[in-house]
Every structure is written in structure tokens, then in C-alpha cells.
Amino acid sequence: MKFTVTSRGDNVSNALQQRIKTYLVEFGLTFDDENPEIVITVGGDGTLLHAFHTYKHRLEDTSFVGIHTGHLGFYADWMPEEVEKLVIHIAKTPFQIVEYPLLEVVLRHYGENKSERLLALNECTVKSPEESLVCNVEIKGEKFETFRGDGLCISTPSGSTAYNKALGGAILHPSLACIQLAEMASINNRVYRTVGSPLVLPQHHTCLLKPQNYVKLQITIDHFSWSHQKVKSIQCRVAEEKIKFARFRPFPFWKRVRESFIGD
């Protein structure tokens, strides 16, 4: 099997990366960071986000597993002291695959015929740094509301524990093929009105955001951020593609939620 190991870049993660690489080569696996069948990330959830974007062109043939060199994470759910156990699992046992939904974002610009298609593992956010964002929200082709406020966040179920949670969005189990739209500080008074609650949209319900005030927008996809001047629309829906995680033991999602946010 072909593998690669990525690192957050700190000394602890780099040392662990080297150890894992040496172990797996000794076990007869092939190091290949061009076309890996399994990607092992060492660092945190952010490190796995980076690895996802590096290998998102080959999601069909690649599985991910994350080791956390800080506290336990959602994508990185193995601890450094478990590395030997994990390496033996990878080398010796066929692993189970768990698939999580992704978000597809299609950006269209005024004056351009071609669109840009992007994939997010956590979320896409749309903000207008210079003044309030004014944005029509259409769901399944029908106008739902005009949003005024700081911005909007459209997240995947596995991204629901990240930025979405800080916005008061619900935590969604990643077995649900859906996306969540959460508001950032909407203006609500007698003139302006939004629904005020996060919305969860099932597969094939497309959400179209149409900015109305032609200002510069800040659009993020996971850890990437771009400024855009002439955005006509941002189309969001559950992607056809999924991310595959290699699972070697059960680690229920709600247990991860409890351990991350509540503790013992």
C-alpha cells in the first residue's frame, strides 16, 4: 500500500512523522506522496484540513487518518502514544472506511462566463469586511430571505463543530448528508428580517447566495481566504464527493463531542 505522512511542522509532529514513515517502510509499505492510498496526518484538525486540500483531486482512492499532537481532535483522533498500535493496524489489517459529506461551492462572477467549483471539508464563509453584507438567500430556486449583517457560514456536518458552532449552529452527526447555513450577526428590526435560526438543508437542496450591494467580499473555504470584487452568486450544496477516513477502532462521534467540549 502507498502512504504518505504530513505534519503540522512543529518539532514534535515532525519527529513523529519521521518515526511513522520509518516504521511503515520497514513493514513493507511504499512511501508515495504523489498518489497515496492512505494519508496519515500529524498535528491537529487543521493539519488534516490542509492534507484534504492537498489530495482532494484523488478522494476516491485516498483514505485519511489523523494523529493529534495537542488535545484530541475531530479529524485527528489518535494520540502520539498510540502510534505503534496505529502503524501495526495500517500495515497488517484491512481497515474499515467511514465516509463524511463535503460541501460543494460554485462561485460565479459578473462579466465572466466560467464558474469556479470548490470543495470544503469544514465550511465556506461569506463576509463583507467594509460594510454590512446584503445578500439574497435562495433555497431550491426560491427566494427565502434577504440577509443583512456580518456574514453567512455554510458548513458540512463534520465542520459543524468548528466555526459553525461558534455561531450557535447545531452540531450535526457526519452520517447526515446535509449542509448547515448559519448567520453571523444578522440585523433584525422592523425593516430588516431574517429567519434568525441556522438552517439544515438535505442533499440536492441547493442554497444560492446573491450579494446585493456589490462590495468587496471575503470568502473562505476552510483555512483559505480570498477577496472578491464582483461576485454574482455563491451556490452551495452537498457535494457528490465524500472524504474517506480509515477507521481501525470505534470512536463514536458523540464521544468525541463530549471529550472535546464537555470533558469528564
Q: Which residues line the annotated binding site for NAD(+)?
A: 45-46, 50, 122-123, 148, 150, 185
Least distance CB 70 / ligand NAP (angstroms): 6
- Does residue 147 belong to the site contacting ligand NAP (CB under 6 A)? no
Q: Is 260 left (phi over 0), alpha (psi -120 to 50) or beta?
A: alpha
- Does residue 166 belong to the site contacting ligand NAP (CB under 6 A)? yes
What is the C-alpha separation between 118 and 150, in angstroms, rounded? Answer: 22
Inter-helix orientation angle 83-92/11-26, to 10°: 30
* Interface with ligand NAP in residues 189-228 (CB under 6 A): 222-223
Among 45, 77, 145, 150, binds ligand NAP (CB under 6 A): 45
- All three cell numbers of 114: 466560467
- Does residue 162 belong to the site contacting ligand NAP (CB under 6 A)? yes
- Does residue 151 belong to the site contacting ligand NAP (CB under 6 A)? no
Alpha helices in 196-244 (DSSP H): none
Q: How many residues bind ligand NAP (CB under 6 A)?
A: 18
What is the C-alpha separation between 80 and 128, in angstroms, rounded? Answer: 40
Least distance CB 92 / ligand NAP (angstroms): 28
- All three cell numbers of 64: 485519511
- Does residue 122 belong to the site contacting ligand NAP (CB under 6 A)? yes
Among 161, 180, 186, 194, binds ligand NAP (CB under 6 A): 161
Binding range to ligand NAP, per CB under 6 A, among 22-30, 41-49, 100-108, 138-146: 41-49
45 flagged as catalytic = yes
CA distances from 134 to 11, 37, 105, 144, 158 (A): 45, 44, 19, 14, 28
CA angle 151, 156, 157 (to 5 degrees): 125
Q: Count Cβ atoms within 10 A of the Cβ of residue 81 and give its class: 0-12 exposed, 13-18 middle, 19 or more buried.
A: exposed
Least distance CB 94 / ligand NAP (angstroms): 27
Q: Which residue in 10, 45, 77, 264 is the catalytic one? A: 45
- All three cell numbers of 7: 505534519
- Does residue 163 belong to the site contacting ligand NAP (CB under 6 A)? yes
Binding range to ligand NAP, per CB under 6 A, among 15-23, 24-32, 33-41, 66-74: 66-74
Least distance CB 14 / ligand NAP (angstroms): 16
CA angle 28, 17, 94 (to 5 degrees): 45
Least distance CB 140 / ligand NAP (angstroms): 26
Residue placing its CB nearer to ligand NAP in the complex, 44 or 149? 44
Percentages helix, strand, coil for the chain (3-state, rounded to 5) are: 25, 45, 35
Residue nearest to ligand NAP (CB): 46
Q: Which residues are catalytic?
A: 45
Q: Applying CB under 6 A, which residues contact ligand NAP?
A: 44-46, 49, 70, 73-74, 76, 122-123, 158-159, 161-163, 166, 222-223
